[in-house]
Structure 1
Amino acid sequence: MSKITSCCIIDDDEFFAFNIKKLMKDIKFCENVLWYADGQEAIDSLVGLLIENIPLPEVILLDLNMPNKDGWAFLKEFENIPKHQREKVKVYIVSSFVSPENLAKAKSFCCVESYLIKPLTEKALNNLM
């Protein structure tokens, strides 16, 4: 049985999203998985959950490079959500591109737990649990 009730994948790469959802199912990572292809769609949906008094997902896997609203813009808006409504959420940046600038920028957001490198493995997901 999973310790995580819900997880959110924010990534425009459908292949990545499909594979990570399959891996999550195989290892019983969480009960529910939400997937959004861009940051705007994700932030709108998460705010909608809060309006309906539905808790936010405990884990967010966030890509940085996406159309409409990228991962950085998503983080800026996400941090505008009152802290008591997002305090149980752990955001993990998931990217295939690593740079000292991105790592430093990620650390500037209090909601970012860690920076993970694609592709994610079973071991990486198990470490999140």
Structure 2
Amino acid sequence: MSIFSSCCIIDDDEFFAISGKKKLKQVDFCDNVLYYTGGQEALDGLIGLLVENITLPTIIFLDLNMPKRDGWSFLEEFEQLPEDKINHIQIYITSSFISPKLIEKAKKYRLVKDYIVKPLTENALLKIIASQETS
């Protein structure tokens, strides 16, 4: 059995999503992976799950640079959802940009747990798993 029952990848880069899913499977990270190609699609999908009274994924890997609704805009709206529905969620920013300014900005969001520079590696996933086992 995996560490997490489900996680979510929000990224317009299909290659990142496919390779990320492969890494998640290799380390037995989660049982189910939701994938959304953009921030608006993700908001609509996740809110739809809440309407159906389905628990949201514990882990969200969120890209920042996406068309229509970027990661920052997603975070702004997502953090407005009912606290009891999202307080178990940990968001990991996944970005190609290594920028102290972006990392500092990400830390201002209460659900953001860390900033991961792409690609998603086995080491990064094992670090997330280890943080769960110690908490």
TM superposition score category, shorter chain reference: over 0.9
Amino acid at match of 1:24: L
Name 1:43's counterpart in structure 2: 43
Q: Provide structure 2 residue ranges, at least 5 long, that are not aligned to the other structure.
A: 130-135
Name 2:104's counterpart in structure 1: 104
- State whether structure 2 residue 78 is matched by structure 1 residue 78: yes
Q: CA deviation at 1:99?
A: 1.3
- TM-score, with length taken from structure 1: 0.97
Among all aligned residue pairs of Structure 1 and Structure 2, give the percentage whose two residues are the same amino acid: 56
SS in 1 for 2:103: helix
Amino acid at match of 1:62: L
Deviations 1:46-72 (A, max 9, x none): 000000000000000000000110000
Contact persistence 2:3–2:28 (CA under 8 A): no
**What is the CA RMSD across the aligned residues, in angstroms?**
0.8
- TM-score, with length taken from structure 2: 0.93
Mapped to 2, the partners of 1:103 and 1:88 lie a distance apart of: 22
Mapped to 1, the partners of 2:114 and 2:100 lie a distance apart of: 14
Q: Provide structure 1 residue ranges, at least 5 long, that are not aligned to the other structure.
A: none
Q: CA deviation at 1:89?
A: 0.5
- State whether structure 2 residue 19 is matched by structure 1 residue 9: no
Larger deviation: 20-29 or 64-73?
20-29
SS in 2 for 1:23: helix
Mapped to 2, the partners of 1:83 and 1:98 lie a distance apart of: 30
Name 2:133's counterpart in structure 1: none
Q: CA deviation at 1:27?
A: 1.7
Mapped to 1, the partners of 2:49 and 2:73 lie a distance apart of: 19
Name 2:55's counterpart in structure 1: 55
Q: CA deviation at 1:28?
A: 1.2
Mapped to 2, the partners of 1:79 and 1:97 lie a distance apart of: 23
Runs of 4 or more above 2 Å deviation: none
